Amino acid sequence: MAVDELKIDEADYNREWVTWAKLTHVLNVFINKKATEVLESANKFGHIDFEKHMEEWKKWIILDIDDCVAPHHGKIYPTNIKRIKDLLDKWWDIVIFSNMKKSDRYTQLENMWIKVITSKYAKPNSKWFEECLVKMNLEAGEVIMVWDNFLTDGWSIWAGIDFIKIKPIEIEEESPSVWRVVQKVMRGFIDEIARIYKAEGREGVIKLIKDRKMDVKEKAISYAFLVAINARIEEWRYSKMEKEFGEQLSVYAGKVIKSEGELYKKSVKEFARLAGG
């Protein structure tokens, strides 16, 4: 694609909101095996075998920050800063891209001559991946992308860029943040609906939702449960985007309803994470 077609813009934007690309890619992850193909999986950034990939003629790393080398909206861990320095010493080139707007937490990386890519496009919009390659003047085969989640990051696979997936960093209780508070609220809301369904059935869920004032994300979550229990009511209360997002999230609502014990906790946490964008 030509550069002018991409409308490349050096300004920075908030890219963390729900977008049409995010909604449609949720379904793609479940119906197409290619959407989850990875070059390597690792528990931590420091566990990735980059030396092996250098032998495959890879030159550049496009690195996400949130949940990969830092808690969401948090500071980059010192161990990961050290690993990044080691990679630079071994002739890797690194650029940073996150859906979060640029902030002062990147200063230390920029002082190491690491470029922070800004864009008007949000992952998983395919135009972002194309723009990123144009800005770096690289071919897809020269690049590795290191990120934590298939829903926003996995579209790199379709751009021909190899994807290394790492396990998301757990949100630390001693590091309070707006994100952690929001996640806690959403997990509580998901848990509340699931418990009412198990105790009172569809009627209990319908009553809870009818009586509650909800924001956009809560409405998408509630709609997901209504789809999962086959009880769609008062659809006029929901916008087109809330309903479409809820439809995509209904798979996770179903998992929460059916699970117990530790699997239940894990399912609630996963649902809240995805609902949080």
Tokens encoding 186: 């959403």
Say yes or no to pLDDT of 256 above 90. Answer: yes
In 3D space, the residue among 101, 55, 105 whose CA is nearest the CA of residue 80 turns out to be: 105
Q: How far apart are CA 9 and CA 85, in angstroms?
A: 29
Pick the residue with more confidence: 66 or 250? Answer: 250
Say yes or no to pLDDT of 6 above 50. Answer: no
Range scoring the smallest mean pLDDT among 15-24, 74-83, 214-223: 15-24
Say yes or no to pLDDT of 141 above 90. Answer: no
| Residue 180 pLDDT | 63
| Residue 277 pLDDT | 47
Pick the residue with more confidence: 239 or 155? Answer: 239
Say yes or no to pLDDT of 22 above 60. Answer: no
Going by the DSSP 8-state scheme, the letter that residue 168 receives in this structure is: P
Model confidence at 27, in pLDDT bands (50, 70, 90)?
low
DSSP 186-233: HHHHHHHHHHHHHHHHHHHHHHHHHH----HHHHHHHHHHHHHTT---
The mean pLDDT value for 192-197 works out to 92
Q: How far apart are CA 116 and CA 141, in angstroms?
A: 21
| Cβ-based neighbour number of residue 16 at 10 Å | 19
In 3D space, the residue among 163, 118, 119 whose CA is nearest the CA of residue 145 turns out to be: 163
Pick the CATH number of 3-166 from 1.10.760.10, 3.30.450.40, 3.40.50.1000, 1.10.10.10: 3.40.50.1000
21, 135 contact by CB (below 8 A)? no
Going by the DSSP 8-state scheme, the letter that residue 137 receives in this structure is: T
CA 220 to chain centre: 17
| Residue 158 pLDDT | 66
Tokens encoding 97: 């891209």
Model confidence at 15, in pLDDT bands (50, 70, 90)?
very low
Query: What is the maximal distance between C-alpha atoms in the chain?
Result: 62
| Residue 227 pLDDT | 93
| Residue 10 pLDDT | 52
Range scoring the smallest mean pLDDT among 10-14, 213-217, 271-275: 10-14
Q: How far apart are CA 45 and CA 100, in angstroms?
A: 19
213 CB contacts (<8 Å, ≥6 apart)?
Answer: none
| Residue 178 pLDDT | 55
Say yes or no to pLDDT of 122 above 70. Answer: no
Say yes or no to pLDDT of 12 above 60. Answer: no
Which residues face 163 on adjacent strands? 145
CA 124 to chain centre: 9
Say yes or no to pLDDT of 88 above 80. Answer: yes
Can you list the pairs that 111-119 forms with residues at least 24 positions away whose Cβ atoms lie under 8 Å?
Answer: 112/84, 112/85, 112/88, 114/84, 114/88, 117/62, 118/9, 118/10, 118/11, 118/12, 118/13, 119/8, 119/9, 119/13, 119/15
Model confidence at 5, in pLDDT bands (50, 70, 90)?
very low
The mean pLDDT value for 215-234 works out to 88
| Residue 45 pLDDT | 93
Mean pLDDT for the chain? Answer: 78
Model confidence at 231, in pLDDT bands (50, 70, 90)?
confident
Q: How far apart are CA 138 and CA 160, in angstroms?
A: 12
Say yes or no to pLDDT of 169 above 90. Answer: no
**Domains in the chain: boundaries:** 3-166, 178-275
108, 81 contact by CB (below 8 A)? yes
Q: Is the pTM of this model over 0.75?
A: no
